[in-house]
Structure 1
Amino acid sequence: MHLEQELQRARQQGIFIASGGSGDHGHSVGANGIFTHGLKSFFCVCEDGAGECVCAGAVTFDLEYARWMDEHQRHMNDLRVALSAQMSDGELRVLVDGVMLHYDQVFRLKGFATKSDVFHVLSGMWMSPAERFFMWLGGFRSSELLKVLVSHLAPLTDQQLMGICNLQQSSQQAEDALSQGMEALQQALADTLASAATAVGAGAADNVTNYMGQMAIAMSKLTTLENFLRQADLLRQQTLQQMHRILTTRQAARALLVISDYFSRLRALSSLWLARPRD
């Protein structure tokens, strides 16, 4: 029943529906869930033994992310009401755990999308312009978010403050390592593409072979880009989880609201900027 609902929704949205096995006319569905049609790829959701898979690309990721945002806002409203009503820690913990699970969902969604279209996730076109301005490797910088949180969570115990500071430092180190890796990847790609250009300009008889060989090398290097984005999202996910462990339930609820409000203000800033008078 769940698969049928997904298929119906996919058809209504104009998503390509592929058979579970290899198809004709250049269609194929790999075991890794990536559907290829010519030079385009989509991520597919299949159920064991099912004859069909739901395959989607960047447009569907944007739609699913928008749905996730709507649900996230409902979670935030529940948290805000619970804090105002002085709800018990036990009841509040259920809501906080629900938000954490909801964050896990968006990281899974981004993981599928990264396999489908890594450049779309990297570009952040599914986010508002102001969010993209602060974006790092397809999302927020954990270290910067922790800086925002510290000033809003006082009072913290010495142990909590040390835990947050250590988490911020380790996040910064991981971000620096990933950034350096990205710079190295960009340089390696540039060198490879430059070699391909040199081969074509040389006028040798095997120019085309050399060119295609260099492009194949460049393509293989792009798989590293997917790994960088997955590691960046894993860092973000682990930072949220560590923050959750360091803080009390009530502090964690406040922290989640601070994070949500921060990104809401970025989206509001984008809307105001786009709607500004242009003289």
Structure 2
Amino acid sequence: MQQGTLAVVDSMEQAKGKTGDQKTLRRLAQNREAARKSRLRKKAYVQQLENSRLRLSQLEQELQRARQQGMFIASGFSGDHNQLMVGNGALTFDLDYTRWLDENQRLVNDLRSAVNSHMGDNELHVLVDGVMSHYDELFRLKTIGAKADVFHMLSGMWKTPAERCFMWLGGFRSSEVLKGILGNHLEPLTDQQLMGICNLQQSSQQAEDALSQGMEALQQSLVETLSSTTLGPAGSGNVADYMGQMAIAMGKLATLENFLYQADLLRQQTLQQMHRILTTRQAARALLVISDYFSRLRALSSLWLARPRD
């Protein structure tokens, strides 16, 4: 009986050992399969990034060629100095804006590192002021660009396609930044801060509505001027009336530069007022959120342009 008992116990232990070995083998097989799938996903992701990088490089080359062609076309008007100046002005702004983006990314990276490392408010304040001053520089560049080619600035051709979908008078809507972007990222706010942000959002919306109505009125006025029955072709013998009406239209068109300036001034003042309402650390987070939003729009444009086409 003792020998039989020992045999049964030994048999049970062997069975348990085999079961344990099978579980171990299954676990090892599952780990190998998971590792294989992970390697495949990583390889696919790296390949996708490489394709995107190549596509971006290709797009940059195409953009550079387009800019050079634009310069060539502009300089081809040997008798039209104004056309040359407009072409050069738009190209100059595009190059300045590219440099501005690079510097802005550097400033934002420094600000992000400071926030993540819980830097003191005094040091953080210096970095926040640096980003704010850099936005002031952008508005200064846009003012110069508008004097050279206001249509280039209003059309937003210096931005990516996805950004242009949300363009309003040559830039972003201040009210949307306050409501749609910052509203969900600055919790918690004091009651006084919340009221200040809400009031700022409402006042920005009102100013935007007023400027939009002004632009609509200007467009309607131009339509009426250009479609006037007294405006005959230059070769019809009524040259004086024709030139008079075109001079009126040119005068109305000149106000576009002022609309762009007012829109940029609203954007600048909104950022400054937001800075005053928030604490230094909250303002730093707000600037990071704004920067991340526009970075994602630019990335979305790149991915959209690089998407596979059938």
- How does the TM-score come out when normalised to structure 1? 0.80
Q: Does 1:37 align with 2:81?
A: yes
Q: Does 1:205 align with 2:233?
A: no
For 1:259, which of 259, 273, 290 is the aligned residue?
290
1:109-128 residue pairs with structure 2 within 5 A?
109-128=141-160
Letter in 1 for 2:148: S
Taking the aligned partners of 1:68 and 1:162, their CA distance within structure 2 comes to 33
For 2:262, which of 208, 227, 231 is the aligned residue?
231
Taking the aligned partners of 1:202 and 1:119, their CA distance within structure 2 comes to 25
For 1:87, which of 93, 102, 119 is the aligned residue?
119
Partner residue of 1:214? Answer: 245
Letter in 1 for 2:81: H
Letter in 2 for 1:182: M
Query: How far apart are 1:211 and its partner, in Å?
Result: 1.4
**2:146 aligned counterpart, secondary structure:** helix
Query: How far apart are 1:198 and its partner, in Å?
Result: 5.1
User: 1:23-58 CA deviation, whole Å, 9 max, x = no partner?
Assistant: xx97xxxxxxxxx82455459xxxxxxxxxxxx410
Q: Which has the higher helix share?
A: 2
Q: Identify if the C-alpha distance between structure 1 residues 180 and 77 changes in structure 2 by more than 3 Å, giving closer, same or farther.
A: same
Query: How far apart are 1:199 and its partner, in Å?
Result: 2.9
Letter in 2 for 1:257: L
Taking the aligned partners of 2:96 and 2:235, their CA distance within structure 1 comes to 49
1:168-183 residue pairs with structure 2 within 5 A?
168-183=201-216
1:89-104 residue pairs with structure 2 within 5 A?
89-104=121-136
The structure with the larger Rg is: 2
Taking the aligned partners of 1:203 and 1:265, their CA distance within structure 2 comes to 53
Query: How far apart are 1:213 and its partner, in Å?
Result: 1.3
Q: Identify if the C-alpha distance between structure 1 residues 129 and 83 changes in structure 2 by more than 3 Å, giving closer, same or farther.
A: same
For 1:162, which of 195, 200, 203 is the aligned residue?
195
Q: Which has the higher strand share?
A: 1
Taking the aligned partners of 1:201 and 1:224, their CA distance within structure 2 comes to 25
User: 1:228-254 CA deviation, whole Å, 9 max, x = no partner?
Assistant: 000000000000000000000000000
Partner residue of 1:70? Answer: 102
For 1:107, which of 110, 127, 139 is the aligned residue?
139
Taking the aligned partners of 1:185 and 1:110, their CA distance within structure 2 comes to 21
Letter in 2 for 1:238: Q
Taking the aligned partners of 1:157 and 1:224, their CA distance within structure 2 comes to 41
Query: How far apart are 1:203 and its partner, in Å?
Result: 8.8
Q: Is the 8 A contact 2:234 2:242 kept in 1?
A: no
User: 1:31-90 CA deviation, whole Å, 9 max, x = no partner?
Assistant: xxxxx82455459xxxxxxxxxxxx41011000000000000000000010011110000
Gaps of at least 5 residues in structure 2 are 1-67, 72-77
Letter in 2 for 1:240: L
CA RMSD across the alignment? 2.3
Partner residue of 1:51? Answer: none
Letter in 1 for 2:267: R
Q: Is the 8 A contact 2:225 2:245 kept in 1?
A: yes
Partner residue of 1:49? Answer: none
- How does the TM-score come out when normalised to structure 2? 0.72
Taking the aligned partners of 2:139 and 2:84, their CA distance within structure 1 comes to 23
Q: Is the 8 A contact 2:136 2:268 kept in 1?
A: yes
For 1:249, which of 276, 280, 286 is the aligned residue?
280
Q: Identify if the C-alpha distance between structure 1 residues 269 and 202 changes in structure 2 by more than 3 Å, giving closer, same or farther.
A: closer
Q: Is the 8 A contact 2:193 2:278 kept in 1?
A: yes
Gaps of at least 5 residues in structure 1 are 1-12, 16-24, 27-35, 44-55
Taking the aligned partners of 1:222 and 1:41, their CA distance within structure 2 comes to 19
Q: Is the 8 A contact 2:230 2:241 kept in 1?
A: no
Q: Does 1:151 align with 2:184?
A: yes
